[in-house]
Structure 1
Amino acid sequence: MDTVVVASPRVPNAEDLYIDTPEALAALASRLADAPWLAIDTEFLREKTYRARLCLIQLAAPGIVACVDPLALPDIDALRPILCNKGITKILHAAHQDLEILYQLWGEIPMPVFDTQIAAALLGQGEQIGYGRLVAEAIDVTLDKGHARTDWSQRPLDPAQIHYAADDVRYLGELYAQQHTALSARGRLSWLGDDFRRLGDPDTYTTDPEAVWHRLKGVHHLQGVQLSIAQSLAAWRERQAQVADRPRRWILADEPLIDIARRPPASRDMLQRIRGLPDAVVGRHGDTLLRLVAEARERPESEWPILADRLVLSPEQEALADLLMATLRLEARRQDIAPAMLATRRELEHLASGKTDLPVMQGWRAHVVGHTLRAVIEGQLTVRMHDGQASLMPTSDEG
């Protein structure tokens, strides 16, 4: 993967700029235009809205650390040409939510990106290591945690809050340089490609209302026409939440939605008996809910959604999955990679059941552990204990 490594990435002594006027934003954009890399973080609220509300965007580049206040500005569009400049590497930690917010704001995803959390997993520093811990381990700096519960929508922000927010980007450049060097030395830099491309795919941040029923709590207890009803209700709720910009649960919580699907009401009286369904929801949306239920029940059976079959393993396959999990952990430890970057338990269960079209058996994962897993399945390798330590050994060496 093509990225730019900088010689002097740390900016701890840079002044923390607070940008709250169009003039200051234009000046900042001018200074950032030729940056070789740009560290990004955001502060947002989502408790009362469907979409995250951007409250602050922190930026760092060589010699610059700035907190831009979108609540004080008409817009932050002056930053778009810089953040979306494909010649500037954007560095983030746990980038998904930050990129989602920017995609919703501009309809464009800042690329290319480098996610220090994903990179840390490939360097054996944990599957989802937090930024503060990573900074402490890699740079030996302990970050202040005093403002972790700040309501970032409240104004004014005091200097301590601004400094705290600025710290979230202050050390990303140095982390990036360290990780880039370490991954290059181990021949792992290209392994980041798939994950980073996924971060740059608009589908990653796009929700299909017709597909959200899969995520309903309790949906696996439904069957047949009940699933058709659940799909219709969930799709309606999603669209309502999007239009109103309110959390899904404020429109209709999962529990009563599932109960409506399980015991389809045919009248308002029956609807009012649904446990956990507020009278206000019945009053506001009762007729719509009854119509959706009736339409879903009339849908041809061929159009009903189908739950993916639950994987049921035989005792022998369960034992094989355990052996594969042990193998994966041994290889992950040996190669200093977070096990979850290689495969999940669920994926190994599918492998034990005979399925092979899996990520762990493809690309770099196949070279790191997939071929070894196949050797275990084929009986060529096994896990043995010696002096309290587990290790992989050829089966020909047994006995």
Structure 2
Amino acid sequence: MNIHPLIDDSDTLSEFCDRLAKSDFVAVDTEFMRENTYWPDLCLVQIGNGDEAAAIDPKANGVDLSPLLDLLVDNEDVLKVFHAGGQDVEIVYNLTGKTPHPIFDTQIAAMALGLGEQIGYANLVDAMLGKSLDKGARFTDWARRPLDKRQLDYAVGDVTHLAEIFPKMLDRLRKTGRGAWINAEMEKLADPANYANLPEESWKRVRIQSRKAEVLGRLKAIAAWREIEAQDKNLPRGRLLRDETLADIALHPPKNQKALAKIRGLPSSWAGNDIGGRLMDVVENADALPEDEMPPRKKRKPGLGKEGALVGDLLKLLLKIRSREIGVAARLVAKADELEQLAAGEREDLPILTGWRYEEFGRDALDLVEGRVAFAVRDGKLKVTHTKDEETADA
């Protein structure tokens, strides 16, 4: 593969992206820093197609990233390949308001191929290519310039290996017929709704022990204020105001700004400065949460007492056995709450009762709940047996 020098000018980048635009796929990775900022600070973009690859310096003076971003978000003819690409996709969304599409994530694909629940990149490279990665540059300060050869080799290596792994994974998915198993997961990763940090929605991420409309109204207002302040100051939201402190203020609102000095987790200076004044304005003017925005009450799981919990445990055991037998990560097949719902007698809108999940696991899960499945040890291995089959054999 042809590895180019660091691209740090607009003309070279445009020519490079023109060539990549003719590819069936491109492997993509990014390096960024976000420990001290709200927005991830993009420091490097690595991209390649199997024939050539390069690192692109978004911090280079005057470089125009438009050809790269057009390739990632507007060119539907080129598949974009990531590994655990959520944060990479977020960066592209922050820059463009769009997400890369179509998209393929090798970590998700690895679940369908039985390579683990959340296999790391180094382990994937070892499993698929038999190569060991040099991890020495993992903790590089990618924002610092200049970047040396070892850092750039490490960074570009991520996409050169990825470009080699992808066709092998695709071939295995085709041979096993499991490509369709992961389509929905890929679409979820590319859904722009996952990356829109809407201030008015941010309260839903904060845990609070209350369902009172006035408390939740304050929570919504304060959380939205925090999000806007954090974005404006480019600070991590938790550094500005931690979730626990935010929830405490919503539950026990201070009577005036001076009282902010007594709240654990707030700087005492907020009792008299502008930011404290803005917070108090929000607290004092917050409206109760409207009825149509109240979070739904958690439904009690009918019948999921001690016996139901035991059935749930048996379903987890069944999932472990079936996942091992078919060579797929259990997490891709079923979620824990789905098993609880099934154990409680629910049947509607459960993914495990539709499509490939039903064929590979859901049918057996129903048989277990309805008394047609048992467990047995045969040849030293735990197996699933169908009682109706046993009865037929006995007859």
Do these two structures clear the TM 0.5 threshold for a shared fold by scoring above it? yes
1:384 maps to which residue?
376
Q: Which moved more, 1:30-39 or 1:172-181?
A: 30-39
1:268 maps to which residue?
257
Q: Distance between the aligned counterparts of 1:319 and 1:25, measured in 2?
A: 59
Matched, 1:338 2:306: no
Displacement of 1:95 in angstroms is: 1.5
Structure 2 residue matching 1:65: 3-state secondary structure:
strand
Check conservation: 2:7, 2:57, Cα contact below 8 A.
yes
Q: Distance between the aligned counterparts of 1:211 and 1:350, measured in 2?
A: 27
Alignment counterpart, residue 112 of structure 1, candidates 83, 88, 102: 102
Q: Unaligned stretches of 5+ in structure 2?
A: none
Q: Distance between the aligned counterparts of 1:208 and 1:382, measured in 2?
A: 49
Q: Distance between the aligned counterparts of 1:102 and 1:68, measured in 2?
A: 14
Displacement of 1:27 in angstroms is: 2.8
Displacement of 1:140 in angstroms is: 0.8
Displacement of 1:157 in angstroms is: 0.1
Check conservation: 1:323, 1:383, Cα contact below 8 A.
no
Q: Distance between the aligned counterparts of 1:210 and 1:311, measured in 2?
A: 29
Matched, 1:52 2:40: yes
Q: Distance between the aligned counterparts of 2:296 and 2:249, measured in 1?
A: 18
Matched, 1:326 2:313: no
Mark the CA change 1:258 to 1:81 in structure 2 (over 3 Å): closer, same or farther.
Answer: closer
Give the TM-score, by structure 2 length. 0.91
Q: Distance between the aligned counterparts of 2:321 and 2:327, measured in 1?
A: 10
Structural mapping, 1:12-91, within 5 Å: 14-74=2-62, 75-83=64-72, 84-91=74-81
1:370 maps to which residue?
362
Check conservation: 2:37, 2:236, Cα contact below 8 A.
yes
Q: Distance between the aligned counterparts of 1:102 and 1:71, measured in 2?
A: 15
Alignment counterpart, residue 172 of structure 2, candidates 160, 182, 187: 182
Displacement of 1:386 in angstroms is: 4.2
Matched, 1:358 2:350: yes
Displacement of 1:340 in angstroms is: 0.6
1:208 maps to which residue?
198
Q: Distance between the aligned counterparts of 1:100 and 1:91, measured in 2?
A: 15
Mark the CA change 1:253 to 1:306 in structure 2 (over 3 Å): closer, same or farther.
Answer: same
Q: Distance between the aligned counterparts of 1:362 and 1:205, measured in 2?
A: 28
Cα deviation, 1:247-297, whole Å, max 9, x if unaligned, reads 11232111211221222211123322111111234423333333333333x
Q: Distance between the aligned counterparts of 2:141 and 2:93, measured in 1?
A: 23
Check conservation: 2:69, 2:92, Cα contact below 8 A.
no
Q: Which moved more, 1:105-114 or 1:380-389?
A: 380-389
Give the TM-score, by structure 1 length. 0.90
Structural mapping, 1:77-156, within 5 Å: 77-83=66-72, 84-156=74-146
Check conservation: 1:122, 1:337, Cα contact below 8 A.
yes
Structure 2 residue matching 1:157: 3-state secondary structure:
coil
Return the letter of the residue paired with 2:245: P
Q: Unaligned stretches of 5+ in structure 1?
A: 1-10
Q: Distance between the aligned counterparts of 1:148 and 1:156, measured in 2?
A: 16
Percent identity for Structure 1 against Structure 2: 37
Matched, 1:316 2:304: no
Q: Distance between the aligned counterparts of 2:350 and 2:172, measured in 1?
A: 28
Matched length: 384
Q: Distance between the aligned counterparts of 1:301 and 1:90, measured in 2?
A: 42
Matched, 1:253 2:253: no
